[in-house]
Structure 1
Amino acid sequence: MNADEIARLARGTLLPSFPGATAPDWLLDELEAGLGGVTLFALTGNVPSPESLAALTARMRKAGDPLIAIDEEGGDVTRLGGHATGSPYPGNAALGAVDDPELTRRVYRSLGAELAEAGVNLNFAPSVDVNTADDNPVIGTRSFGPDPELVARHASAAVTGTQEAGVAACAKHFPGHGATVEDSHLSVPLVDADLELLDRRELVPFRAAIAAGTRAVMTGHLNLPSITGGVPATLSHAAITGLLRERLGYRGVIVTDALDMEGASGEIGIPEASVRALAAGADLLCLGPNEHAETVRATLEAITGAVRGGRLAPERLADAAERTAALRRWLAGQVPAAVDRPAGLEAARRAIRVTGSLPGWNGSPPLVVELKAGGNIAVGPTPWGLSPWAPDAVRADGAAGEAGRVLERATGRGLVVVLRDAHRHADQRALAGALLAARPDTVVVEMGLPVWRPGSAAYLATYGAAAANAQAAAELLGLTGTS
């Protein structure tokens, strides 16, 4: 295999990013030279609208045959327009609460249809992590739930629905990010599980996704000492080749989570992490949202240098190329599905759980108070809350004296307090408790996981903060503002 062939094979493993809604010249040149594809990010300006995204993907396809990937989970992690308005589809926690796999299939088919219309052909979803740690800082509502069998049946439905729309699904984050209390964006989370526990917990949904025909699986930057010996799973031959390929029998494309994350490249850098991931058995390398032309050049040099130096077999690159070629052949034969937006609102409505009795507002709308809660790095600054249906809603951050000011504004009217993962935010719990002590008729709406349940007149759990979840809650509350 000559140097040009090795360089082309190396290029074919890369999924870099770029800023803006126009493909830069360097990217078009790389696509012509065989670049594997791109990963799109909302925060870098790739997706100002579905229409502009469709024009962008069409331009890239004139230069090559790229895999065009995005993180579009619905729910709290949304990129296709929802990053600005909130997603019209609830996320996995809500779908798991409903526990109707056919509805999950329908939601993911519609979501996939919207991606296909915009020219995206690889969706980094569904998340099939079993969320067994309440204090998980990065999964939470992105998981179908804490029960492996529930997650498995919805993993299968989500994969099937996505691929019925002609978009490749990517089950993540192998071998499972749900039992951690650390974020792999910031560190290498520990999963303290031996193979026996993994087999009956984390791996159950991945088996289901593989049986459903998922075209891709994404690795997580996770430390499983009994399996990987302290090496992040993304860089571990034992995890990727031994566990995923050999034990689970998976034959499709393996893609890494973003290699700019601390859990993968914090001590070694992206080029070296790329070499190690390929050697471990990965086929495609997601580089990260800020990794553009310079990172591509450095990574290509590292990969080709590793081949020349004998650290990376050229056959490993050829193996990756064949798998991605098979994915492209599958994509070429797909027929798009129809968008079905009503599925999202139906799912959000069916997911809500109400404890207690909802009060009437006696003709005067309640004061809605939304307690400050930022999203994690994966979620980003996506809008959430009930303010579109409550024009005078207020945001509160738990500062001293804030309860008094809120209670004064709520004089003579009902009070609705909106939380998001209150079990993870002491300031939310403290302020909500102070308000409830003075106003036991307060209605509490939890838009994250309903772990902390205060004693209130009524408690609504939406299992997510997407626009669809908010609308469903607003309908139940009888809010009269316009969205």
Structure 2
Amino acid sequence: MNNGHSSISRHLFPRLNTPAFLLNEAYRDDTLGLVEQGVGGFVLFEGSVDDCAETISLLRGEASHQLLFAADCEFGLTMRFRGGIAYPSMMGLGEGNDLSLTEEVARAIAMEMAAIGLDWNFAPVLDVNSNPANPIINIRSFGESPHIVAEHGAAYIRGMQSGGIIACGKHFPGHGDTTVDSHIDLPSLERSREGLERLELLPFRRAVDEGVLSIMSGHIALPSLDSGRLPASLSPSILKFLREHLHFDGVIVTDALDMGAIVRTHGAEEGVVQAFIAGNDVLEIPRDPWEAIRALSAAVEDGRITVELLEESGRRLEKLVQWSEAKGSKSLRVEGESAISVRFDPIHHVELAVQATRQALRVSGERAALPKEKLPVLLLSDGSEEEINSIEDILLRLDYPLLGHVTGERNSMANNGVGLPEYLLLVASIRPRGGAGSVGFEGEQKQILSQIKSGNTILLNLGNPYLLTDRTFAFRVDTFSTSELSLMEGLLRIDQV
């Protein structure tokens, strides 16, 4: 293998679907080919925690160089894998506003990640959610206050890195005040340099002071720092600003390069090349990793990517690998036991998740005028059929009368909801989803909401806290999370009134 090609390949971190790797021979062979080509690691998705552990263990055994394995585990392994413990969203932690608890949660997540072999968490989210209409950040942010985001972000970084996992502040220079989802197209942040310093940059400066090892560049145009309106992830001037004005000398990793903000505006392969030239050290999730390697290798050969740039970026990446190696071995497989229970006490972690979830609850209103018995439940959800079934199963097990569920396109209620009961428990499960373009009620849901009497209704709002704030419910509980634990704790809080 050509050394130039090998050294550029190490900066590439393709997507890795763990069930496909374990079950599909062609996919596995392709992945092993990428390892042989010298990629620096993978970003893992799908499957169970044990699928993840087995995949990592097999790949480490095949690789002749040190691989790093990354994942988005903002609120725990359950964000990407089945079988993990669900902690509150970052906005839930911000709502609870206990810095020591945020640090402890992050350390617990780090221990669970290390137990299955992961090295790198693409978290915390350091975006200040200053725009309630933001379709993709929302509850992923610690909140609307730059100071809350900065301090909880720093606490999360302390917990994560003390637990042996690389933390990553994202999405620089700030994705909070946007109305476009960068999975779909390129958002633009119209903010002056002074405005940036007061709001978006504060959490990132605090993260650098805390010693965060990596920062993710966002696919966001920022005219005040780049008049050419390049996305930050492709902008030499914005990444230079991060290095020189925030004094960050760690690893810069792009947001996923298969997202619409890059592919639609610059093309899949050219976007990867421009991202490296701009100053990113790690190129995350190209649309086609083989085409990306070819494009990067060609850029090395024709001099667009210089030897000096390769060496400088390579030193930063090698330093990160060494930090991870120094934290000890990962992914200890134990015959007959789940990987998740090998390296820590899961009971303590579940207790921690319960404590943090309870502390995240926001309660308003007074239930006194409503009947004390369990009210009939109507569920509004943007989730999959599996997610909806899970919520309904819990409600039925707890003896709640279930009227049905309504999605944006489907109404499972008898008579389409005509003749709703006088008193109602409304459960809303709406959260940000990449590529959805919005985080609110749609179609059938809006129709049914017009029939509901707020004064006779209890609202259990599991996700987006900005929903239905124009209406006054008899009693309202916001959980800031759509997890099963948040649902059960929310119901428990309602029953206690």
TM-score range, shorter chain: 0.7 to 0.9
Instruction: Give TM-score, length-normalised by structure 1.
Output: 0.87
Instruction: Tell me the alpha carbon deviations over residues 423-480 of structure 1, each in whole angstroms, 9 at most, x when there is no partner.
Output: 833654553342116xx3210122223333322211111122122321210211339x
Q: One-letter code of the match for 2:294?
A: E
Q: 2:461 pairs with 440, 443, 446, which one? A: 446
**Does 1:467 find its partner at 2:484?**
yes
Q: Residue in 2 aligned with 1:35?
A: 39
Contact 2:142 2:152 (C-alpha < 8 Å) held by counterparts: yes
Instruction: Tell me the alpha carbon deviations over residues 157-214 of structure 1, each in whole angstroms, 9 at most, x when there is no partner.
Output: 1111111221111111111100000000111101011211111111111111112221
**Does 1:458 find its partner at 2:475?**
yes
Residues 382 and 136 of structure 1, relative CA distance in 2, 3 Å threshold:
farther
1:316 partner SS: helix
Q: Residue in 2 aligned with 1:127?
A: 125
1:355 partner SS: strand
**Does 1:191 find its partner at 2:207?**
no
1:266 partner SS: helix
Q: One-letter code of the match for 2:320?
A: L
Q: For structure 1, which segment, 25-34 or 149-158, has the greater mean C-alpha deviation from structure 2 after superposition?
A: 25-34
Cα distance in 2 for partners of 1:121, 1:59 equals: 15
**Does 1:268 find its partner at 2:266?**
yes
Cα distance in 2 for partners of 1:364, 1:341 equals: 29
Q: Residue in 1 aligned with 2:225?
A: 227
Q: 2:97 pairs with 93, 96, 99, which one? A: 99
Cα distance in 2 for partners of 1:35, 1:136 equals: 34
Contact 2:188 2:221 (C-alpha < 8 Å) held by counterparts: yes
Q: Residue in 1 aligned with 2:435?
A: none
**Does 1:356 find its partner at 2:365?**
yes
State the 1:312 CA deviation. Answer: 1.5
Cα distance in 1 for partners of 2:420, 2:424 equals: 10
2:363 partner SS: strand
2:266 partner SS: coil
Q: Residue in 2 aligned with 1:344?
A: 353
Instruction: Tell me the alpha carbon deviations over residues 207-250 of structure 1, each in whole angstroms, 9 at most, x when there is no partner.
Output: 1111222111111100111212211110000111x211111011
- 1:153-232 correspondence to structure 2 within 5 Å: 153-229=151-227, 230-232=229-231
Q: One-letter code of the match for 2:35?
A: L
Q: For structure 1, which segment, 394-403 or 192-201, has the greater mean C-alpha deviation from structure 2 after superposition?
A: 394-403
Q: Residue in 1 aligned with 2:323?
A: 330
Cα distance in 1 for partners of 2:389, 2:180 equals: 24
Cα distance in 2 for partners of 1:418, 1:159 equals: 33
1:424 partner SS: coil
**Does 1:51 find its partner at 2:50?**
yes
Contact 2:208 2:248 (C-alpha < 8 Å) held by counterparts: yes
Contact 2:184 2:260 (C-alpha < 8 Å) held by counterparts: yes
Q: Residue in 2 aligned with 1:45?
A: none
Cα distance in 2 for partners of 1:14, 1:162 equals: 23
Contact 1:418 1:444 (C-alpha < 8 Å) held by counterparts: yes
Cα distance in 2 for partners of 1:385, 1:448 equals: 16
- Structure 1 runs of 4+ aligned residues shifted over 6 Å read 360-363, 398-404
Q: Residue in 2 aligned with 1:387?
A: 392
Cα distance in 2 for partners of 1:383, 1:216 equals: 36
1:445 partner SS: strand
Q: Residue in 2 aligned with 1:298?
A: 291
Instruction: Tell me the alpha carbon deviations over residues 143-162 of structure 1, each in whole angstroms, 9 at most, x when there is no partner.
Output: 00011000000100111111
1:192 partner SS: coil
Cα distance in 2 for partners of 1:133, 1:471 equals: 29
Aligned residues: 455
Residues 329 and 475 of structure 1, relative CA distance in 2, 3 Å threshold:
same
Q: Point out where structure 2 has 5 or more consecutive residues left out of the alignment.
A: 331-342, 432-438
Q: Residue in 2 aligned with 1:424?
A: 440
**Does 1:310 find its partner at 2:303?**
yes
- 1:55-70 correspondence to structure 2 within 5 Å: 55-64=54-63, 65-70=66-71
Q: One-letter code of the match for 2:44?
A: L
State the 1:269 CA deviation. Answer: 2.2
Cα distance in 1 for partners of 2:99, 2:232 equals: 30
Cα distance in 2 for partners of 1:400, 1:115 equals: 39
State the 1:14 CA deviation. Answer: 0.5
**Does 1:321 find its partner at 2:321?**
no
Cα distance in 2 for partners of 1:362, 1:149 equals: 41
Cα distance in 1 for partners of 2:142, 2:485 equals: 17
Higher relative contact order at CA 8 Å, sep ≥6: structure 1 or structure 2? 1
Q: One-letter code of the match for 1:442?
A: T
Residues 421 and 208 of structure 1, relative CA distance in 2, 3 Å threshold:
same
Q: One-letter code of the match for 2:306?
A: A
1:167 partner SS: coil
State the 1:30 CA deviation. Answer: 2.9
Q: For structure 1, which segment, 382-391 or 214-223, has the greater mean C-alpha deviation from structure 2 after superposition?
A: 382-391
2:167 partner SS: strand
State the 1:77 CA deviation. Answer: 7.9
Cα distance in 2 for partners of 1:97, 1:114 equals: 24
Instruction: Give TM-score, length-normalised by structure 2.
Output: 0.84
Contact 1:174 1:220 (C-alpha < 8 Å) held by counterparts: yes
**Does 1:478 find its partner at 2:473?**
no
2:451 partner SS: helix
1:128 partner SS: coil
State the 1:318 CA deviation. Answer: 1.7
Cα distance in 2 for partners of 1:354, 1:363 equals: 17
Residues 381 and 78 of structure 1, relative CA distance in 2, 3 Å threshold:
farther
Q: Residue in 2 aligned with 1:81?
A: 82
Residues 358 and 112 of structure 1, relative CA distance in 2, 3 Å threshold:
farther
State the 1:321 CA deviation. Answer: 1.6
Contact 2:86 2:483 (C-alpha < 8 Å) held by counterparts: yes
The alignment-based identity, stated in percent, is 31
Q: Residue in 2 aligned with 1:71?
A: 72
